[in-house]
Amino acid sequence: MSVLKEKKILLGITAGIAAYKTASLVRLFIKLGAEVKVIMTPASKDFITPLTLSTLSKNPVHSTFYKKEAENEMWNNHVDLGLWADYMVIAPATANTLSKMANGTCDNLLLATYLSSKCPVYFAPAMDLDMYLHPSTKESLEKLQNFGNNLIPATSGELASGLVGEGRMAEPQDIVSFIENDILSKLPLKGKKVLITAGPTYEAIDPVRFIGNHSSGKMGFAIANAAANLGAEVYLISGPSNQQIKHSLVHRIDVVSAEEMYTAAHTYFKDVDIAVLSAAVADYKPQNIASQKIKKTAASLDILLTPTKDILASLGKIKKHQFLVGFALETNNELENAKGKLKRKNLDAIVLNSLQDKGAGFATDTNKITIIDKELNEKPFDLKSKEEVAVDIMNEIVKRIS
C-alpha cells in the first residue's frame, strides 16, 4: 500500500505543454488510493481540458474564484481548498508561475490557494532550456525551496521547442515516486523495524478440534498498518485470522499455535526496535493431542491442560534496546491487574482494554483503551475505531522513543 492511500492531493496545473501529462498523473494518484482535486490556471485549459481531469479525478475542476455561468455565481474558496489538502502538487510549474509563487503575486485561484495552503507543497518545473537556465528562474527555484517547498527536479531530454536539454517536466511515475520517497524519508519510524503479534492461537485437541478464543486480529492488523504508515518495516505475526493487509512495508507471518507464535516472535525480536504484542495467545493447551478424532462415547470428557509458553514475559527477559508493549484485556480490577502485568513482564508500556467497556474487546470494530507506561503514568482514550486506536498507540510509542 502506498503512503498516499487516503491522502488528499491538490494538483495545480499551469500553462505549459507538459500539462498533457497531468491526466496520467491524476490517474496514478487515484490508483494509489488518493483523493484528488484539480486547480487549473485559465491559460492551462488550452493544453488539457477540465472535462478530462474532472472525469479522472471524479471531482469538479476549479479555475476561477467563482463560476460565472452559475445562477448564484458560486464562490470557490481558495482557503478551504488549501486547508483540505494533505499535499499540494504543482505540475507543470512554468517559469511564469514559479516567479509569481516566489514573489507572492496572487492573480489567479491557483496562486491564491498556494499562498493559503498549510500542507507540504511539491512543484515540478517545466519550460524550455534557456528559460530553465535563466538567472531569474534559478532565483525563483532557490527562493521556493527556502520557503520550504519541495522541488521535483526537471530532467533532460527533447523539449517542445525541438531543443534537447534540461527543463523537461519529470514523468508522472517519477513525480509520484519522488513524493512517496520524500514522505517516507520524513516519517518518524523510517528505518525502524516493528514486530506485531495479532489474532488468536489455536491449540489442538485432536485433528479437528481446538482450544481458542474470539480474537479477530482486527486490533493487531490496524496497529501493523499504523506502524507502516509511519515508515516502519513491520513483521506481523498472526494467528488464524480472516483479516487482510496490503502494505508494501508489512511482512505477514502466519502461525497457528502458541508454540509457533513463540518461535516466530523470538526469531524476529532480536532485530526490531519496537514490539507490540496484541495477540490473544492461549494460556493453556492440551497436554496430549489425540492423533485421531475423539469419538463421543461418554457423558463427559476430561482434557488435561498444561500452560503455554509466556511469549511476552520471555521477550521481557531478553530485551535490550527494544521498546516492548503488551496488551491487557481485563474484566475486573483492570488498572491493578494491568500494572502488575507491566512490572512482572518487564514492559515499557501496556495497553489496557476492559470487557466492561461497551464497544471494546474481541470481534468489534471499536476499542477503548488506557495506555500505561513503566512510570505508571496512565493515559485514557475515548471509544474509537480500532484504526484510530492503532494510530493513538503508535503515536504514543513514537513520543516515548524519540
How far apart, in whole angstroms, are the C-alpha atoms of residue 40 and residue 164? Answer: 28
Of 59, 76, 77, 213, the catalytic one is 213
Cell numbers linked to 283 = 494460556
- Nearest Cα to 26, choosing from 63, 67, 59? 59
Cα–Cα distance for residue pair 233/252, rounded to 1 Å: 11
Q: Which amino acid is at 156?
A: S
Q: Which of 197, 288, 186 is nearest to 231 (CA)?
A: 186
Instruction: Name the residue with cell 500500500.
Output: 1
Greatest extent of the chain over all pairs of C-alpha atoms, in Å = 93
What stretches of 292-383 adopt beta strand conformation (E)?
Answer: 305-307, 323-330, 349-354, 366-367, 369-373, 378-380
What are the grid coordinates assigned to 303, written together?
482434557
Q: Is 213 a catalytic residue?
A: yes
Contact 201, 279 (CB under 8 A): yes
The span from the CA of 190 to the CA of 231, in Å, is 4
Give 387: exposed, middle or buried? Use CB within 10 Å, 0-12, 13-18, 19+.
middle
Bridge partner list, 324: 275
Active-site residue set: 213
